Structure 1
Amino acid sequence: MELFSEQAVYDACPVVVELPVVWGEMDSMQHVNNTVYIRWMETARFEYFEKVELRSAAAQSGRTGILKSVDCNFRLPLTWPDKVLAGGKVIELGKDYFVIQHVVFSCKHQKVAAHGRAVVVGFDYGKQKKSDFPPGLVEKIQKLEGMT
């Protein structure tokens, strides 16, 4: 995802979270530790889950989404102070999985600092196995993404 402005992030992603870069997130190399970028993506992903009401669907059905895999491509080392926009957009959707593309955009540098993908699969905690998503979740994702 190649984005060149803060507005482009908001235009490209239905869910965007603004997060401060905190001094304590820097490591001995004097830049934000790589694990923090993945945490920012996680924060955007959970905000996405809130937008599509995944927790309430899970409470009713016993089925939810669980992270299968995540990757992150680092493009720019960040330092304090800065603010990042962490965005998420579903780019592939099935009845039992979706792929969400993430972006971390530096407001100070006006550049993408990292991008990645997460694969989320349906999971039934009672049966401890993969399942379809709870009823209505796919439709809520389609609506949020403008796929319908």
Structure 2
Amino acid sequence: MLNLLDGFPVTVEFPVAWGEMDLLEHVNNVTYFRYFENARIAYFKKIGYMEHTSKTGVGPILASTECRYKFPLTYPDTIRVGARVGEIYPDRFTMHYKIVSLREERVAAEGSGDLVSYDYNIGAKTPIPDVIRERIEVLEGG
């Protein structure tokens, strides 16, 4: 089952909470974006992006995101969420996500997000810092 997340250098695992379900007794669609966010932040922590942002004021800002639902998650379950960076451009990159149900042993959803390098000091996009680009490339094996 772990091979469902091959190619994802960062994964996080946590239980599905009963309170994440909606009236139709499956996890509400908005919650999947929170799962993506948790994986994204774990990725950023692994490469020191949050620390870099705190020191310099330059960090990521989410420009767009999407989710493709494969089957509905329900309580009780435990999920594993993978995050990886795909395309990298001078001032942005695309992060890909995959949510796997451990109970069902299959992919529940896949998604992506475009993240822009943003200088919070001046309120404008800026090139991805070289040190961050290098850390992404090392983590991704490139």
The TM tier, using the shorter chain, reads over 0.9
Report the alpha carbon displacement of residue 55 of structure 1 after superposing the two structures with TM.
Answer: 1.5
After TM superposition, the structure 1 = structure 2 runs for residues 42-121 of structure 1, keeping only pairs within 5 Å, are: 42-121=37-116
Report the alpha carbon displacement of residue 10 of structure 1 after superposing the two structures with TM.
Answer: 4.3
In structure 2, give the amino acid aligned to 1:67: L
In structure 2, give the amino acid aligned to 1:30: E
SS of alignment partner, residue 137 of structure 1: helix
Find the aligned partners of 2:115 and 2:62 in 1 and give their Cα distance: 5
Report the RMSD for the aligned CA atoms in angstroms. 1.1
After TM superposition, the structure 1 = structure 2 runs for residues 123-142 of structure 1, keeping only pairs within 5 Å, are: 123-142=118-137
Find the aligned partners of 1:140 and 1:21 in 2 and give their Cα distance: 31
Q: Percent identity?
A: 38
Report the alpha carbon displacement of residue 61 of structure 1 after superposing the two structures with TM.
Answer: 2.1
Deviating runs (4+, > 3 A) in structure 1? Answer: none
Find the aligned partners of 1:62 and 1:25 in 2 and give their Cα distance: 33
Report the alpha carbon displacement of residue 82 of structure 1 after superposing the two structures with TM.
Answer: 0.3
Find the aligned partners of 2:91 and 2:138 in 1 and give their Cα distance: 17
CA contact (8 A) 1:94 1:138 kept: no
TM-score (norm 1): 0.92
* 1:29 corresponds to 2:21: no
Q: Which runs of 5+ in 2 are unaligned?
A: none
Q: Which residue of 2 aligns with 1:18?
A: 13
TM-score (norm 2): 0.96
Find the aligned partners of 1:50 and 1:111 in 2 and give their Cα distance: 27
Further displaced range: 107-116 or 10-19: 10-19
CA contact (8 A) 2:5 2:98 kept: no
